[in-house]
């Protein structure tokens, strides 16, 4: 098996599509109000599934995290430490929820965290100092 991408379950498809497309720069290949929206970022497939439609399709109900949640993270890499700071400032100004300002960790990574409109964590980081 080959990893082709990953997906997250969403409540408000239009809000989430606009965030990932307009704030984070993911490429959208579907209408923003369909049941499943396919986005791409750097060749990785990223799927948004509307929770109610997914439950109808599977004939099951599921439990979901609410609020800012630490269930998983989406990790985005940038070129260097300065780009971590610049990306953080840019996406927060565009509407991302700030979680942790850029910090250089003891293991040599400069990293920061934001959350999307439904509380999913997104890391922006780099291991390149210069």
> In sequence order, what are the residues at sequence separation of 6 or more whose Cβ sits closer than 8 angstroms to the Cβ of residue 107?
none
In a domain, 101, yes or no: yes
Domain of residue 10, residue span: 5-58
| Residue 79, helix vs strand vs coil | coil
In a domain, 42, yes or no: yes
Residue 11: C-alpha distances to residues 33, 42, 86, 93, 95 (Å): 11, 25, 30, 23, 18
In this prediction, residues 80-102 reach a mean pLDDT of 98
- Model confidence at 33, in pLDDT bands (50, 70, 90)? confident
Measured between alpha carbons, how far is 33 from 50 in angstroms, rounded to an integer?
Answer: 9
User: Same structural domain for residues 78 and 114?
Assistant: yes
In this prediction, residues 52-76 reach a mean pLDDT of 94
Measured between alpha carbons, how far is 96 from 101 in angstroms, rounded to an integer?
Answer: 12
| CB distance 37 to 17 below 8 Å | yes
User: Same structural domain for residues 52 and 86?
Assistant: no
User: Same structural domain for residues 49 and 87?
Assistant: no
User: Same structural domain for residues 35 and 77?
Assistant: no
pLDDT at 34: 82
- Model confidence at 5, in pLDDT bands (50, 70, 90)? confident
User: Same structural domain for residues 51 and 92?
Assistant: no
Give the sheet arrangement for strand 44-50, strand by strand.
5-10, 44-50, 36-41, 27-28
pLDDT at 3: 84
Q: Please name which of 126, 86, 117, 110 lies closest in space to residue 22, comparing C-alpha atoms.
A: 117
User: Same structural domain for residues 90 and 116?
Assistant: yes
Domain count, the chain: 2
pLDDT at 75: 95
Q: The domain spanning residue 75 has which CATH number?
A: 3.10.180.10
Measured between alpha carbons, how far is 82 from 34 in angstroms, rounded to an integer?
Answer: 37
Q: Where are the beta strands (DSSP E) in 19-119?
A: 27-28, 36-41, 44-50, 69-77, 97-104, 110-115
User: Same structural domain for residues 50 and 93?
Assistant: no
In this prediction, residues 58-87 reach a mean pLDDT of 95
User: Same structural domain for residues 75 and 102?
Assistant: yes
Which one of 33, 58, 83 terminates a domain?
58
User: Same structural domain for residues 53 and 73?
Assistant: no
User: Same structural domain for residues 44 and 84?
Assistant: no
């Amino acid at each position: 098996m080959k990893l082709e991408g990953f997906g997250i379950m969403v409540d408000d498809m239009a809000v989430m599509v606009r965030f990932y497309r307009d704030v984070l720069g993911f490429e959208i290949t579907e209408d923003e109000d369909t049941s499943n929206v396919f986005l791409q970022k750097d060749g990785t497939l990223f799927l948004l599934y509307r929770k109610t439609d997914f439950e109808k399709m599977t004939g099951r109900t599921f439990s979901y995290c609410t609020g800012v949640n630490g269930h998983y993270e989406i990790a985005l890499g940038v070129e260097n430490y300065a780009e971590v700071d610049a990306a953080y400032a840019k996406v927060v100004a565009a509407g991302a929820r700030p979680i942790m300002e850029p910090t250089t960790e003891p293991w040599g990574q400069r990293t920061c965290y934001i959350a999307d409109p439904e509380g999913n964590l997104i890391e922006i980081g780099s291991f390149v100092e210069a």
